[in-house]
Amino acid sequence: MTTNATPRFGDFHRILFFTGAGLSAESGIPTYRGKGGVWTEYDYEDYACQRAFARDPEKVWDFHDKRRAAVARCEPNDGHRIIADVQRERADTAVVTQNIDGLHARSGARDVVELHGSLWRVRCDRERVVRDDVTVPMTPRQCSCGAYWRPDIVWFEDALDPRNLERAQELLLACDLLVSVGTSGVVYPAAELPRIAMRSGATTVEINVEDTPVSALYQHRLRGKASEMLAAMR
């Protein structure tokens, strides 16, 4: 169902995909809100904030190892693949994601702006080192300096990396087509970003299985699974 004719990728030059947990739902990764959501089972204050990590890094790592193991079993879906294909076909296509699962990169997408970090990167805040790490479970948990490696994820109460925010803002300002895919639009400050493209005159599309609190801001609302709605825009 659409508000009017579905925009086609071929009619635009600088496409920006702004993606959220709903894009990875078809890969079997639960979304943030709703049934099966990870935060209905676990309290973030015990597992996903800097305070919890300072208090009990082993407990926080046990939890993140479980998340890594669950995501490692999942594969990119057709939605991720269509986005990577569009990026291959049109050089000026960018991806800004709120997801931490790494599925965009695994489907072949390039230069993805990961606003909320990645499950597959760790950092040592003492030595100011960041590195990729795909071991499951993540070993060793401590850096050679003795401090614990920390998942390079924007946890609850953390600020976004200003460099990522700036890059995302530039891309949103420059795009002529914004396609938001599978995001509830309520996690700030990420949720504010699409407004930049709206203000600068881009054509805007929201893909979701249902209406969201920000649906009315989009010119086109495509209702259905991410992979099917993205296929309809080819």
Residues with catalytic function:
116
Closest listed residue to residue 208, CA positions, set 19, 27, 10: 19
Q: Does 98 bind ligand NAD (CB under 6 A)?
A: yes
Q: Name the one residue in this structure whose structure tokens are 């920390």.
A: 150
CB-based contacts of 130, cutoff 8 Å, min separation 6: 121, 122, 123, 152
Q: Does 211 bind ligand NAD (CB under 6 A)?
A: no
Q: Does 25 bind ligand NAD (CB under 6 A)?
A: yes
Is 50 in contact with 157 (CB distance < 8 Å)?
yes
CA distance readout (Å), 66 to 10, 73, 74, 77: 41, 11, 13, 21
Q: Does 174 bind ligand NAD (CB under 6 A)?
A: no
Measure the CA–CA gap between 171 and 95, rounded to whole angstroms.
Answer: 9
Contact region with ligand NAD (CB under 6 A), list: 51-59, 62-70, 128-136, 182-190: 182-190
Q: Does 206 bind ligand NAD (CB under 6 A)?
A: no
Q: Does 76 bind ligand NAD (CB under 6 A)?
A: no
Per CB under 6 A, contacts with ligand NAD among 107-166 are: 116
The contact set with ligand NAD (CB under 6 A) reads: 20-22, 24-26, 29, 31-33, 98-101, 116, 182-184, 187, 207-210, 212, 225-226
